[in-house]
Amino acid sequence: MKVYLGIDVGSVSTKIAALDEDKELLCHTYLPTQGNPTKAIQQALAEIERLLPTDSSIEGVATTGSARQLAGYIAGADLVKNEITSQAVAALHYYPDVQTIFEIGGQDSKIIIIRDGVVTDFGMNTVCAAGTGSFLDHQAQRLNMSIERFSHLAMDSDTPANIVGRCTVFAESDMIHKQQSGCRIEDIAYGLCRTLVRNYLSNVGLGKEIKPPIVFQGGVAFNRGIIRAFREELDAEIIVPTHHQIMGAIGAALLVQEEMGDKKSGFRGFAACRRQQKDVKSEVCK
């Protein structure tokens, strides 16, 4: 069986998607990076090796994400692609008429504008984390609850708290004030979801023409409170793919399948990928 691997390594999570010749998803992994991308990549590859059919032949490997160069070196990737391209290709594969992509991860967020199947514009967060998943994770910890419980509580809110602040620090300060004023916890939770959405739209989405269909990708799409906040803020339907958390990896796998043709893959093999990496160097990205 011919298999194509897409590896997406971010600051919070490491994802691998394995596609067959017909571009169907065979299996995938989703692991925390935990500040050690080398170890996370090796663990994810070991998990994929266990999940794949025994007759699998790796015909191509592509990497994407913030650690795509490192992942490419470890795996012997045939293709290294940026996140914008990978996310767009995956969305277009499942939703050919998509015009706007929201992608929110743990430490970064992106908006991708597509017209007639072509990326025409995009935006990414710069120095502020107020429109990313880490913002909600931090506030959930402050409220002494898991992010899953935070998401459920946000859906129970009828009168969300108006939490102001285009900055994580100021938003947290206002959240504490709302707690001290006696606001219900579910109203605070949904108020924080609305704050993240407003920060995202006014920062990453500033000046962008947001048109439906809108596809929401990334790990933060697990949070139903954020989906609800986007729908209410934009008065539009928000499409969440089944495998929204690994769309970057799927896009990378689709790209390498298109790239390889009859070429032989440079994949180093699962055993080689487990060897200790010693020759690490730094370079300036221009």
pLDDT tens digits for range 103-126: 988 778 899 999 999 999 999 886
pLDDT at residue 278 is higher than 80 = no
How much is the mean pLDDT over the chain? 90
CA–CA distance, 119 with 112 (Å, rounded to integer): 7
Q: Answer whether 240's CB lies under 8 Å from 151's CB.
A: no
Report pLDDT for 93. Answer: 98
Sign of the alpha-carbon dihedral angle for 139, 166, 193, 187: positive
Q: In this predicted model, what pLDDT tens digit does every residue of 167-217 receive, in sequence order?
A: 667 777 888 888 888 889 999 999 989 988 988 898 889 899 999 999 999
pLDDT in tens, 224-256: 999 999 999 999 999 999 999 999 999 999 999
Average pLDDT rounded to a whole number, residues 30-49: 92
Strands (E), the chain: 2-9, 13-19, 25-32, 57-64, 79-80, 100-104, 109-115, 118-124, 214-217, 238-239
Please state which of the ranges 41-50, 70-79, 268-277 shows the lowest mean pLDDT. Answer: 268-277
**Rounded CA separation 128/198 (Å):** 13
- Predicted confidence at residue 143, as pLDDT, reads 82
Q: How far apart are CA 124 and CA 135, in angstroms?
A: 16
The predicted structure's pLDDT at residue 128: 63
Q: Which domains does the chain have, with CATH numbers?
A: 2-85+246-273 (3.30.420.40), 96-240 (3.30.420.40)
What are the beta bridge partners of residue 124? 110
Token pair listed for 70: 């490192």
